[in-house]
Amino acid sequence: METEVKLTKLASCAGCGAKVGAGTLAQLLDGFKTHKDPRLIVGFDKSDDASVYVIDENTAIVQTTDFFPPIVDDPYLFGQIAAANALSDIYAMGGEPKLALNIMCVQDSMDSGTVREILRGGYEKAYEAGAIISGGHTIHGAEPIYGLAVTGFVHPDKVLTNSGAKPGDMLILTKPLGVGVITTAAKAGLVDDELMSRLHLQMSTLNKAARDIMVRYKVNSCTDVTGFALLGHSFEMAQGSGCTLHLTVDRIPYHQEAFEFADMGFIPAGAYRNREYAEHGVSAPGVSRPMLDIMYDPQTSGGLLISAPEEEAERMLGEFYAAGVFAAAVGYVTDRSENDPYVVAE
């Protein structure tokens, strides 16, 4: 659908590139008094994708929220992408989304048709996920924003976190990188329709199929690769796990056009925040500047980064391929000594 209002022109930044840096968030939350509850087995102190609260021996609630400004002009597609991105946090914890609430900010120049199309995109993506949008909250503001607060369920013994990677694990990534770089270049009119269509399909694709296969195997750790980029999320996984993650650069999937755009300097602001946050824990000798920029590039509705024992990971990859789910083995996990980097790109 075409809309007279160019949504991306109404926002100062786009998609997950709008995300506040992880280092800044840690400082803002430091020292706050919170209640302690043994049933809260994953909270904000874990830097994880969602919180997890145990209800009984068979059921835990997984809860998250995610929203951002438009990354595309098509309002229906924007709704789809924003919803897919929010639902992804539940999948990354091994859970199934069940309930969702709309979070929306309407800019004054947006007509009712545009607003309805954004909501339609979100509702249809939630329906595809098997979740029910049961309400929400909408305000007027300077920039359009859309997303969801999502509640899901998972067995307490099957919760996946970003802090469980173990030495000997293989690392799997389920979507290629380059989203932020390409959408930045698109603002300058340098991206053709074929590439944008490919990117739109990727961003609007749920991580449901990847999650449904992943949970059939022994997985030690998982996170989705979104605003903090591959290197930022890998850094958090390595820190939480007390291990070193080794990323094999020539096996990392990315849209080839992103390399050229990165070399030309089309780097989103979020990539610089990600670099500032993680680079002290990253060793990347010999990695080209454009490739490093892609690895720091914030992804909108990115894939899952899965850490699993090698034999399990190989079998999982085979099932991904057979089901037509994109996946690539991108590295491995080792023990970490005190002075070792958390992430090695080699």
Catalytic residue numbers, as ranges = 16
Nearest to 84 by CA among 206, 210, 209, 223: 206
C-alpha span between 97 and 297 (Å, rounded):
27
Q: Side chain identity at 109, as an amino acid letter? A: S
Q: Are 202 and 179 in contact (CB under 8 A)?
A: yes
CA distance 250 to 17: 25
DSSP per residue over 41-92, as a string? Answer: EE-GGGT-SSEEEEEETTEEEEEEEEEE--SSS-HHHHHHHHHHHHHHHHHH
In sign, the C-alpha dihedral spanning 215, 50, 19, 28 is negative
Instruction: Read off the amino acid at residue 339.
Output: N
Secondary structure tally for the chain: helices H, strands E = 11, 13
In whole angstroms, give the CA distance from residue 303 to residue 174: 5
Tally Cβ neighbours within 10 Å of residue 27: 10
